[in-house]
Amino acid sequence: MSQLPVYPGGASAVGAGIVVEGVRRAFGAVEAVRAVSFEAQPGSVTALIGPNGSGKTTLLLMLATLLRPDAGRILIDGVDPVAEPRAVRPLIGWMPDALGSWNNLTVHSALEMTHRFYGHPRAVATARAWELIHLVGLTELATRPTRVLSRGRKQKLSLARALANDPRVLLLDEPASGLDPVARIELRELLLGLAAEGRTILISSHVLSELDELATDAVYLDHGVTASREAVARAKASSRVWRVKSLDGFSLGPQLEGIGVDASRIGADSQGFTVAMADETDAAAVLTALVAAGVRVTWFAPASGELERTMQGLRDGGAA
Protein backbone atom coordinates (compact mmCIF):
# COMPACT_ATOMS: atom_id res chain seq x y z
CA MET A 1 0.00 0.00 0.00
CA SER A 2 1.31 3.43 -0.91
CA GLN A 3 0.39 7.00 -0.08
CA LEU A 4 -3.13 8.13 -0.90
CA PRO A 5 -3.00 10.27 -4.06
CA VAL A 6 -4.19 13.86 -4.06
CA TYR A 7 -7.82 13.96 -5.08
CA PRO A 8 -9.16 17.49 -5.82
CA GLY A 9 -12.77 16.29 -5.87
CA GLY A 10 -12.58 14.65 -2.47
CA ALA A 11 -13.68 15.59 1.01
CA SER A 12 -10.39 15.42 2.88
CA ALA A 13 -10.54 18.86 4.49
CA VAL A 14 -10.44 18.81 8.28
CA GLY A 15 -13.94 18.55 9.74
CA ALA A 16 -15.61 18.21 13.11
CA GLY A 17 -15.14 14.47 13.63
CA ILE A 18 -17.72 12.21 15.30
CA VAL A 19 -20.01 13.09 18.21
CA VAL A 20 -22.25 10.46 19.83
CA GLU A 21 -24.53 11.40 22.73
CA GLY A 22 -26.75 8.98 24.64
CA VAL A 23 -27.37 6.69 21.65
CA ARG A 24 -29.60 3.67 22.07
CA ARG A 25 -30.76 0.96 19.65
CA ALA A 26 -32.88 -2.13 20.36
CA PHE A 27 -34.02 -5.03 18.21
CA GLY A 28 -37.29 -6.04 19.82
CA ALA A 29 -36.53 -6.94 23.43
CA VAL A 30 -32.76 -7.03 22.79
CA GLU A 31 -30.96 -3.77 23.57
CA ALA A 32 -27.87 -3.95 21.37
CA VAL A 33 -26.80 -0.40 22.25
CA ARG A 34 -28.09 0.99 25.54
CA ALA A 35 -26.15 4.16 26.35
CA VAL A 36 -23.23 5.19 24.16
CA SER A 37 -21.53 8.57 24.29
CA PHE A 38 -18.11 9.57 22.95
CA GLU A 39 -16.25 11.89 20.60
CA ALA A 40 -13.65 11.07 17.94
CA GLN A 41 -11.53 14.01 16.84
CA PRO A 42 -10.16 14.88 13.38
CA GLY A 43 -6.59 13.72 13.02
CA SER A 44 -7.14 10.85 15.44
CA VAL A 45 -7.41 7.07 15.20
CA THR A 46 -9.99 6.01 17.78
CA ALA A 47 -10.20 2.35 18.73
CA LEU A 48 -13.66 0.90 19.37
CA ILE A 49 -13.06 -1.93 21.84
CA GLY A 50 -15.36 -4.50 23.36
CA PRO A 51 -16.18 -8.22 23.45
CA ASN A 52 -18.49 -9.93 20.98
CA GLY A 53 -22.06 -8.76 21.53
CA SER A 54 -21.01 -5.45 23.07
CA GLY A 55 -22.75 -3.39 20.36
CA LYS A 56 -19.76 -2.34 18.25
CA THR A 57 -21.14 -3.30 14.84
CA THR A 58 -24.61 -1.93 15.64
CA LEU A 59 -22.99 1.36 16.59
CA LEU A 60 -20.94 1.46 13.39
CA LEU A 61 -24.04 0.77 11.31
CA MET A 62 -25.78 3.74 12.91
CA LEU A 63 -22.78 5.97 12.23
CA ALA A 64 -22.80 4.76 8.62
CA THR A 65 -26.49 5.78 8.23
CA LEU A 66 -27.54 2.14 7.79
CA LEU A 67 -29.51 2.00 11.07
CA ARG A 68 -31.49 4.67 12.87
CA PRO A 69 -30.91 5.10 16.61
CA ASP A 70 -33.96 4.77 18.87
CA ALA A 71 -32.70 7.64 21.02
CA GLY A 72 -29.77 9.99 21.34
CA ARG A 73 -27.85 12.10 18.83
CA ILE A 74 -25.11 11.46 16.28
CA LEU A 75 -23.13 14.07 14.38
CA ILE A 76 -20.72 13.27 11.55
CA ASP A 77 -18.62 16.34 10.74
CA GLY A 78 -21.40 18.40 12.30
CA VAL A 79 -24.15 16.77 10.20
CA ASP A 80 -26.95 14.61 11.67
CA PRO A 81 -27.03 11.30 9.73
CA VAL A 82 -30.65 10.68 10.76
CA ALA A 83 -31.92 14.05 9.54
CA GLU A 84 -29.55 14.37 6.56
CA PRO A 85 -28.27 10.93 5.50
CA ARG A 86 -27.63 12.04 1.90
CA ALA A 87 -25.40 14.85 3.17
CA VAL A 88 -23.45 12.52 5.46
CA ARG A 89 -22.78 9.61 3.09
CA PRO A 90 -20.29 11.49 0.85
CA LEU A 91 -18.31 12.38 3.99
CA ILE A 92 -17.83 8.83 5.29
CA GLY A 93 -15.96 5.76 4.17
CA TRP A 94 -17.60 2.60 5.50
CA MET A 95 -15.71 -0.70 5.59
CA PRO A 96 -17.83 -3.56 6.97
CA ASP A 97 -16.40 -6.71 8.49
CA ALA A 98 -17.56 -8.81 5.52
CA LEU A 99 -17.42 -7.43 1.98
CA GLY A 100 -20.49 -7.68 -0.18
CA SER A 101 -19.43 -7.27 -3.81
CA TRP A 102 -20.63 -7.80 -7.35
CA ASN A 103 -19.08 -11.20 -8.05
CA ASN A 104 -19.00 -10.85 -11.83
CA LEU A 105 -17.45 -7.37 -11.90
CA THR A 106 -13.70 -6.98 -12.08
CA VAL A 107 -11.86 -5.29 -9.23
CA HIS A 108 -11.46 -2.15 -11.35
CA SER A 109 -15.10 -2.11 -12.46
CA ALA A 110 -16.30 -2.53 -8.86
CA LEU A 111 -14.28 0.47 -7.72
CA GLU A 112 -15.30 2.52 -10.75
CA MET A 113 -18.96 1.73 -10.05
CA THR A 114 -18.56 2.69 -6.38
CA HIS A 115 -17.10 6.05 -7.34
CA ARG A 116 -19.84 6.73 -9.89
CA PHE A 117 -22.45 6.22 -7.16
CA TYR A 118 -21.19 9.52 -5.73
CA GLY A 119 -22.10 11.28 -8.97
CA HIS A 120 -18.67 11.48 -10.59
CA PRO A 121 -18.31 11.12 -14.38
CA ARG A 122 -16.92 7.90 -15.86
CA ALA A 123 -13.50 9.36 -16.73
CA VAL A 124 -12.94 10.57 -13.16
CA ALA A 125 -14.23 7.29 -11.71
CA THR A 126 -11.96 5.23 -13.98
CA ALA A 127 -8.86 7.19 -12.98
CA ARG A 128 -9.77 7.08 -9.30
CA ALA A 129 -10.29 3.31 -9.45
CA TRP A 130 -6.75 2.82 -10.76
CA GLU A 131 -5.33 5.08 -8.05
CA LEU A 132 -7.05 3.04 -5.35
CA ILE A 133 -6.03 -0.29 -6.88
CA HIS A 134 -2.37 0.76 -6.76
CA LEU A 135 -2.84 2.17 -3.25
CA VAL A 136 -4.06 -1.09 -1.70
CA GLY A 137 -1.85 -3.41 -3.74
CA LEU A 138 -4.37 -5.09 -6.07
CA THR A 139 -2.74 -4.10 -9.37
CA GLU A 140 -2.16 -7.69 -10.53
CA LEU A 141 -5.82 -8.55 -9.92
CA ALA A 142 -7.37 -5.39 -11.37
CA THR A 143 -8.97 -7.17 -14.32
CA ARG A 144 -10.03 -10.30 -12.43
CA PRO A 145 -13.60 -10.78 -11.13
CA THR A 146 -14.01 -10.03 -7.44
CA ARG A 147 -15.28 -13.56 -6.75
CA VAL A 148 -11.74 -14.97 -7.11
CA LEU A 149 -10.31 -12.77 -4.35
CA SER A 150 -9.11 -14.33 -1.11
CA ARG A 151 -10.40 -13.05 2.24
CA GLY A 152 -7.39 -10.79 2.67
CA ARG A 153 -7.66 -9.36 -0.84
CA LYS A 154 -11.37 -8.76 -0.40
CA GLN A 155 -10.43 -6.72 2.68
CA LYS A 156 -8.11 -4.65 0.51
CA LEU A 157 -10.90 -4.10 -2.01
CA SER A 158 -13.29 -3.16 0.79
CA LEU A 159 -10.81 -0.59 2.09
CA ALA A 160 -10.39 0.82 -1.42
CA ARG A 161 -14.18 1.18 -1.72
CA ALA A 162 -14.27 2.98 1.63
CA LEU A 163 -11.68 5.46 0.31
CA ALA A 164 -13.39 5.98 -3.05
CA ASN A 165 -14.81 9.44 -2.35
CA ASP A 166 -11.81 10.62 -0.29
CA PRO A 167 -13.87 10.70 2.93
CA ARG A 168 -13.30 12.88 5.98
CA VAL A 169 -14.48 10.13 8.33
CA LEU A 170 -13.52 6.45 8.09
CA LEU A 171 -15.56 3.74 9.85
CA LEU A 172 -13.63 0.47 9.79
CA ASP A 173 -14.93 -2.84 11.16
CA GLU A 174 -12.10 -5.41 11.51
CA PRO A 175 -10.07 -3.99 8.59
CA ALA A 176 -7.02 -6.22 9.18
CA SER A 177 -8.96 -9.48 9.18
CA GLY A 178 -7.40 -11.90 6.70
CA LEU A 179 -4.40 -9.71 5.91
CA ASP A 180 -0.91 -11.18 5.95
CA PRO A 181 1.75 -9.61 8.25
CA VAL A 182 3.20 -7.36 5.53
CA ALA A 183 -0.26 -6.12 4.53
CA ARG A 184 -1.08 -5.40 8.19
CA ILE A 185 2.00 -3.20 8.49
CA GLU A 186 1.08 -1.40 5.26
CA LEU A 187 -2.48 -0.89 6.51
CA ARG A 188 -1.19 0.63 9.75
CA GLU A 189 1.07 3.03 7.87
CA LEU A 190 -1.74 4.01 5.50
CA LEU A 191 -4.21 4.72 8.31
CA LEU A 192 -1.67 6.77 10.25
CA GLY A 193 -1.04 8.79 7.09
CA LEU A 194 -4.77 9.36 6.56
CA ALA A 195 -5.17 10.54 10.16
CA ALA A 196 -2.20 12.89 9.75
CA GLU A 197 -4.13 14.54 6.89
CA GLY A 198 -6.86 15.48 9.37
CA ARG A 199 -9.34 12.66 8.83
CA THR A 200 -11.28 11.03 11.65
CA ILE A 201 -10.80 7.27 11.88
CA LEU A 202 -12.90 4.96 14.06
CA ILE A 203 -11.69 1.37 13.97
CA SER A 204 -13.07 -1.78 15.55
CA SER A 205 -10.78 -4.79 15.97
CA HIS A 206 -10.32 -7.76 18.26
CA VAL A 207 -6.53 -7.63 17.77
CA LEU A 208 -5.68 -5.18 20.52
CA SER A 209 -1.92 -5.43 19.98
CA GLU A 210 -2.38 -3.90 16.53
CA LEU A 211 -4.62 -1.15 17.86
CA ASP A 212 -2.01 -0.31 20.50
CA GLU A 213 0.40 0.62 17.70
CA LEU A 214 -2.23 2.63 15.86
CA ALA A 215 -4.83 4.24 18.12
CA THR A 216 -4.49 7.68 19.68
CA ASP A 217 -7.70 7.26 21.70
CA ALA A 218 -10.11 4.49 22.64
CA VAL A 219 -13.80 3.91 23.35
CA TYR A 220 -14.57 0.90 25.57
CA LEU A 221 -17.95 -0.71 25.02
CA ASP A 222 -19.57 -3.54 26.98
CA HIS A 223 -23.21 -4.69 26.93
CA GLY A 224 -24.09 -1.65 24.82
CA VAL A 225 -22.69 0.90 27.29
CA THR A 226 -19.55 3.03 27.01
CA ALA A 227 -17.22 3.04 30.00
CA SER A 228 -17.08 6.36 31.84
CA ARG A 229 -13.94 8.49 31.83
CA GLU A 230 -13.59 7.83 35.55
CA ALA A 231 -13.74 4.05 35.08
CA VAL A 232 -11.18 4.19 32.27
CA ALA A 233 -8.86 6.31 34.45
CA ARG A 234 -9.15 3.80 37.30
CA ALA A 235 -8.46 0.89 34.97
CA LYS A 236 -5.38 2.59 33.55
CA ALA A 237 -4.11 3.29 37.07
CA SER A 238 -4.49 -0.33 38.19
CA SER A 239 -1.48 -2.59 38.73
CA ARG A 240 0.11 -4.04 35.63
CA VAL A 241 2.11 -7.18 34.96
CA TRP A 242 5.54 -6.68 33.40
CA ARG A 243 7.64 -9.36 31.72
CA VAL A 244 11.30 -9.66 32.71
CA LYS A 245 14.00 -11.74 31.02
CA SER A 246 17.71 -12.03 31.66
CA LEU A 247 20.72 -14.02 30.53
CA ASP A 248 20.67 -15.72 33.93
CA GLY A 249 17.61 -17.83 33.09
CA PHE A 250 15.90 -19.41 36.08
CA SER A 251 18.16 -17.54 38.50
CA LEU A 252 16.07 -14.46 37.78
CA GLY A 253 13.36 -15.49 40.26
CA PRO A 254 15.68 -15.56 43.29
CA GLN A 255 17.40 -12.41 41.99
CA LEU A 256 14.06 -10.56 41.99
CA GLU A 257 13.44 -11.64 45.55
CA GLY A 258 16.99 -10.63 46.38
CA ILE A 259 16.32 -7.00 45.43
CA GLY A 260 13.22 -6.93 47.61
CA VAL A 261 10.39 -7.95 45.26
CA ASP A 262 7.84 -9.94 47.27
CA ALA A 263 7.42 -13.51 46.02
CA SER A 264 3.65 -12.97 45.72
CA ARG A 265 4.31 -10.43 42.95
CA ILE A 266 6.49 -12.78 40.90
CA GLY A 267 5.01 -15.15 38.35
CA ALA A 268 6.32 -17.41 35.62
CA ASP A 269 5.06 -18.80 32.34
CA SER A 270 6.44 -20.35 29.16
CA GLN A 271 8.06 -17.04 28.21
CA GLY A 272 9.81 -16.34 31.50
CA PHE A 273 9.17 -14.34 34.65
CA THR A 274 6.55 -11.69 35.32
CA VAL A 275 6.24 -9.10 38.05
CA ALA A 276 3.12 -7.22 39.14
CA MET A 277 3.98 -3.50 39.20
CA ALA A 278 1.91 -0.87 40.97
CA ASP A 279 2.80 1.74 38.33
CA GLU A 280 5.63 2.86 36.06
CA THR A 281 7.53 4.35 39.00
CA ASP A 282 7.50 0.93 40.64
CA ALA A 283 8.69 -0.67 37.38
CA ALA A 284 11.54 1.83 37.05
CA ALA A 285 12.64 1.10 40.63
CA VAL A 286 12.70 -2.67 40.01
CA LEU A 287 14.71 -2.27 36.80
CA THR A 288 17.20 0.08 38.50
CA ALA A 289 17.66 -2.37 41.36
CA LEU A 290 18.18 -5.33 39.00
CA VAL A 291 20.84 -3.52 37.00
CA ALA A 292 22.55 -2.30 40.18
CA ALA A 293 22.65 -5.92 41.42
CA GLY A 294 24.44 -6.98 38.23
CA VAL A 295 21.48 -8.86 36.70
CA ARG A 296 21.91 -9.05 32.93
CA VAL A 297 18.43 -7.90 31.89
CA THR A 298 17.54 -8.55 28.24
CA TRP A 299 13.82 -7.74 28.30
CA PHE A 300 11.75 -5.51 30.56
CA ALA A 301 8.33 -4.42 29.30
CA PRO A 302 4.60 -4.65 30.04
CA ALA A 303 3.31 -8.17 29.41
CA SER A 304 0.22 -6.76 27.67
CA GLY A 305 -0.60 -3.62 25.73
CA GLU A 306 -2.23 -0.53 27.18
CA LEU A 307 -5.59 -1.22 25.54
CA GLU A 308 -5.73 -4.84 26.68
CA ARG A 309 -4.76 -3.91 30.22
CA THR A 310 -7.38 -1.15 30.38
CA MET A 311 -10.13 -3.40 29.01
CA GLN A 312 -9.28 -6.11 31.51
CA GLY A 313 -9.26 -3.55 34.30
CA LEU A 314 -12.70 -2.36 33.26
CA ARG A 315 -14.07 -5.90 33.22
CA ASP A 316 -12.56 -6.65 36.64
CA GLY A 317 -13.68 -3.40 38.23
CA GLY A 318 -16.84 -2.49 36.29
CA ALA A 319 -17.32 0.20 33.64
CA ALA A 320 -19.52 2.59 35.60
pLDDT in tens, 40-96: 999 999 999 988 888 999 999 999 999 999 999 999 999 999 999 999 999 999 999
Q: What confidence score (pLDDT) does residue 57 get?
A: 92
Return d(Cα 97, Cα 174) in angstroms, integer. 5
- Report strand pairing: 18-27 vs 71-76: antiparallel
pLDDT band at 249 (very low <50, low <70, confident <90, very high): confident
Residue 318: pLDDT over 70: no
Residue 250: pLDDT over 80: yes
Residue 10: pLDDT over 50: no
pLDDT band at 121 (very low <50, low <70, confident <90, very high): very high
Kindly calculate the radius of gyration of the chain based on its CA atoms and give it in whole angstroms: 23
**What's the mean pLDDT when you consider all of the chain?**
88
CATH architecture of 18-226: 3-Layer(aba) Sandwich (3.40)
* Nearest partner of 94 among 73, 124, 52, 66, judged by Cα: 66
| Mean per-residue pLDDT, 87-108 | 87
Sheet holding 240-246, edge to edge: 266-269, 272-277, 240-246, 297-302
Residue 168: pLDDT over 60: yes
Residue 185: pLDDT over 60: yes
pLDDT band at 9 (very low <50, low <70, confident <90, very high): very low
- Helix axis angle for 107-116 and 151-162, nearest 10°, is 20
